[in-house]
Structure 1
Amino acid sequence: MKARLDGAELGYGAATVLRDVSLTLQEGERVVLLGPSGAGKTTLLAAIHAQLIARDERVALVPQDHGLVPQMSLRRNVYMGRLDDHGAVRNLARLIYLPRGLRDQIAAVLAPLGLSDHATSPVEALSGGQRQRTALARALFRGGGMLIADEPVSAVDAMQAAEIMALLSARFTTAMIALHDVALARSFATRIIGLRDGRIRFDAAADRVTDAQIARLYG
């Protein structure tokens, strides 16, 4: 078992966003969260992420706002995925000068995401889609068996999105991802959780979720 919630109320400060949340995330599951804006997908991802981090699990994270440093190069933003592997002095030295071996490792992550030509570009000079792929590259560089991602392909086209999701599926054995594309969710997920109005409306194997159930989420 990777994570568990049992009748939890989740939110920010005094504001409750999700009520009576019960679920278990098992090793090897690829869980997709579906639901309209404001349904609580980001809140649920944050709760699962916090639980995993509290247990010192190695988690690759792709937040919806990307969490990048605009003035730093794409390559250095990707390196930041491993900042907690080392102390402050070593990280500072590497943010000033990245050894050849690390540059090669990062280059291998950038290539399948179409970012090779932008390795030294400052993030603030990149397009929205390139920034999103930079956040994905940082997660891939971090590695580990678990991925938490919040709308990780919303800024790329359909073909790129499918390719990226296949890449993530091959790289991470377990994942919980919020998506807005239902077809992409069905192709990636082993399990789909539907959220609406602050509650889980369904939680089932991907091949058992009906079009009618999904329509009710967005209706």
Structure 2
Amino acid sequence: MDAVHLRNLTAAYGGQQVLGPISLDIRPGEHIALVGRSGAGKSTLLNLLYEQVRDRAALVPQEQGLVQSLSVFHNVYMGRLSANPRWYNILNLVWPRRRELEEISPLLERLGIVDKLRKPVEALSGGQKQRTAVARALYQKAAILLADEPVSALDGPLAHVVMGLISEAYATSVIALHDIDLALRYCDRIVGIRDGQIALDDATRRLSPADILPLY
């Protein structure tokens, strides 16, 4: 993918500016962590970024964006709806095809939810729903991944599994994270947001938890 250049992005709610102006460059091959306290503007920045690159991005929103009445398989399959003709998508809705089952099942196996393949999302726990949303983005195979707290409902080992899969599947990503240790381990650049502004932007190798904690 080409580099993404964001210039003077702003956002306002209720007449009050909550983000920006922010300028940010995202280079191919970068794994960027957005860090900062809740309400700092991370989700708003991700949403604005998605508006700029939606044609080449996979998104894991904080609210997950799953269809509760559909199965895990169908929610994951939705990651590639645009890649297939409508008749084929309808066919998969009625009776999942072998090709897609053979692609999606191993992905769910690695995420620890292959036994939920045909279960409706509404029957899942919060962590299982989160992994379903991540599986959908991984299956999409876009140029860039944007994820808003994709491991917030997962315990330590599972969080590492998911972050490892994300790093493996996507060469370029921007991920909002609360967990500083995960940000330092799986991302090579840290962008800290405070009060709607970029307060920190540096390579992970030059940072320690003590450099990031003041943002919280």
- TM-score relative to the length of structure 1: 0.93
Q: Could you say which residue in structure 2 is the equivalent of 1:40?
A: 41
2:65, 2:14 → 1: CA distance?
21
Q: Could you say which residue in structure 2 is the equivalent of 1:185?
A: 183
Q: Could you say which residue in structure 1 is the equivalent of 2:151?
A: 153
Change (3 A) 1:37 1:87: same
Q: Secondary structure at the match of 2:68?
A: coil
Residue 166 (structure 1) aligned with residue 149 (structure 2): no
1:14, 1:98 → 2: CA distance?
47
Unaligned runs of 5+ in 1: none
1:210, 1:172 → 2: CA distance?
24
Q: Could you say which residue in structure 1 is the equivalent of 2:125?
A: 127
How large is the Cα RMSD of the aligned pairs?
A: 1.5
Q: Secondary structure at the match of 1:18?
A: strand
2:12, 2:123 → 1: CA distance?
34
Alignment map for 1:20-39 (pairs within 5 Å): 20-39=21-40
Residue 106 (structure 1) aligned with residue 82 (structure 2): no
Q: 2:70 aligns with which of 69, 72, 96?
A: 72
Q: Secondary structure at the match of 1:173?
A: coil
1:164, 1:136 → 2: CA distance?
8
Equivalent residues, number: 215
Q: 2:90 aligns with which of 89, 92, 98?
A: 92
Bigger mean CA deviation after superposition, 140-149 or 85-94 = 85-94
In the alignment, is the contact (CA less than 8 A) between 1:2 and 1:52 conserved in 2? no
Deviations 1:56-84 (A, max 9, x none): 32x22111111001111111111011112
Q: Secondary structure at the match of 1:98?
A: coil
Unaligned runs of 5+ in 2: none
1:22 is displaced (CA, Å) by: 1.0
2:100, 2:16 → 1: CA distance?
43
Q: Could you say which residue in structure 2 is the equivalent of 1:214?
A: 212
Q: Could you say which residue in structure 1 is the equivalent of 2:19?
A: 18
1:18 is displaced (CA, Å) by: 0.8
1:89 is displaced (CA, Å) by: 3.3
Change (3 A) 1:138 1:12: farther
Percentage identity across aligned positions?
A: 45
1:211 is displaced (CA, Å) by: 3.6
1:210 is displaced (CA, Å) by: 4.2
In the alignment, is the contact (CA less than 8 A) between 2:181 and 2:209 conserved in 1? no
Deviations 1:127-184 (A, max 9, x none): 0000000001111111123111000001110111112111111110100000000001
Q: Could you say which residue in structure 2 is the equivalent of 1:51?
A: 52
Change (3 A) 1:14 1:2: farther
Q: Secondary structure at the match of 2:69?
A: coil
2:187, 2:24 → 1: CA distance?
16
1:94, 1:12 → 2: CA distance?
40
2:136, 2:106 → 1: CA distance?
12
